[in-house]
Each structure stands twice: as structure tokens, then as C-alpha cells.
Amino acid sequence: MTPASASPSPAQRKPGHARARLLEVSRRLFIMRGIDAVSYGDIAKEVGSTRANLHYHFGNKAELIKEVFAVTFQEVRAGLADIWLVPSLSLGARIDLLFEDAKARFEKFNQPETERTPWSLSSRARLDFSAMDAEVAEGISEMSEYFEKCVAHAVQLAVGTGELRADTPVEDVVLMITPLWYFGSPITQFSGITRLQNHYEAAKRTLKAAYGAPAK
């Protein structure tokens, strides 16, 4: 076989509508059923395609998983930037936006009275992905670090605008906010979206009481 006639590697093929659809369905099934539990056959059946088509686009399942996570990381970074890095928002408003983002993703996977389905890919991977690739694990760690840096930036802005006191311990505030994001999916899976909202509201009240600047 000549180089010109050789099939391109999965990394060389350009994403198209069909490929994007496969990634979208794969992510949804990974979140709902667990990454280990989903096979190429499951994905092909859901899309109305074949296992051979999945192999053509991605090679083996490990490569598909890495690409699903890569696309997800890009989307999450963009969403976090819109919440935490834009100017002229209070810290309380940013926390509200973070909850609204969590609620939107929760509602995508859950119907009223059946609030037990996970909705976070990274959370699902942490709970029941037995053979996590090093690249995926590193990506999750980098995303967590990025989130914490975004929150720290927003806290510093809140100090600068006078929303929080000048002596506010930025790192402590970051550590109070980050678990809301890390553990949102497990909380709703076992306690529902209202309970998660209670956690967010409690965090806002605590931060305001502990570090809020006195009214002028």
C-alpha cells in the first residue's frame, strides 16, 4: 500500500458532523452509564451506526475516551472563563452563575422526580473508571487547577472592588468554593438539585459573614 492510499490515522481525520455526533453520544452514554460499562456496540446502536464506523473515526475505545475528554475540557474552560474571568461581576453573582451552569447540566440528564443520574464526565470518571489513561487523568488535574486559578482571580477582584475585606484569605475562599464544583454531581445524585443549591447559598452566606466588607 502506497502512502497516498493509506488510511489516515484517527488523529489526522478532520472532525465533521458525523464525528461530532459520535463524540456527543459517547459522552452522554459515558456520563449516564459509566465509561467502563459503555461499549462501541452501545454507541453504534444509539447513533444508528456500526462499530466499524467508530473504529474508523477513533481507532480503539481508549482513543475515543481521550477525544471525548479533550472536547469536554475545551468546553469547560470556555464556560469557566465566562463565569470567573469577565469583569464587573460580584463574587456572589459568579457563584450564582456556577450553580446555574450545574443546574443546566443536571437538567439535561435528569427529569423531575428522577434526580439520580450523574451529569459530570469528570465526576463519573473519578467514581468508576477503572483504567483511566494518564493523559485523561492529567487533563482532569489541569482542569481542576485552572478552575482554582479562575476562582482565585475572581476573589482578588472582589477584594479590589471592596466586596470583600482587604485581609480576605484568598486561598481559603478558593477552598470553600471548589468543592461545590468538584462534588456537584454526586450531591445531586444522592440528595437532589435543591440540596446542591442549599450548599451554594450556604457558601455565599458564610463568605459574606466572614469576609464581606462593611457597608459604607
Q: What is the pLDDT of residue 127?
A: 77
Domain 67-211 homologous superfamily, CATH = Tetracycline Repressor, domain 2 (1.10.357.10)
pTM score, whole prediction: 0.87
Q: Where are the domains of the chain?
A: 67-211
Amino acid type, 21: R
> CB neighbours of 138 closer than 8 A, spacing ≥ 6?
none
Q: What is the pLDDT of residue 216?
A: 66
Instruction: Find out whether 152 and 81 touch, Cβ atoms under 8 Å.
Output: no
> CB neighbours of 85 closer than 8 A, spacing ≥ 6?
150, 153, 154
Q: What is the pLDDT of residue 5?
A: 36
Neighbour-count burial of 171, counting CB atoms closer than 10 A to its CB (0-12 exposed, 13-18 middle, 19+ buried)? exposed
Q: What is the pLDDT of residue 112?
A: 76
Tens place of pLDDT per residue across the chain (216 aa):
333 334 444 444 445 788 999 999 999 999 999 999 999 999 999 999 999 999 999 999 999 999 999 999 999 999 999 999 999 999 999 999 999 999 999 999 998 777 789 999 998 888 777 778 889 999 999 999 999 999 999 999 999 999 999 999 999 999 999 999 999 999 999 999 999 999 999 999 999 999 999 876
Give the cell for residue 153: 482571580
Q: What is the pLDDT of residue 9?
A: 44
Q: What is the pLDDT of residue 6?
A: 40
The whole-angstrom separation of Cα 42 and Cα 93 is 41
The whole-angstrom separation of Cα 146 and Cα 2 is 44
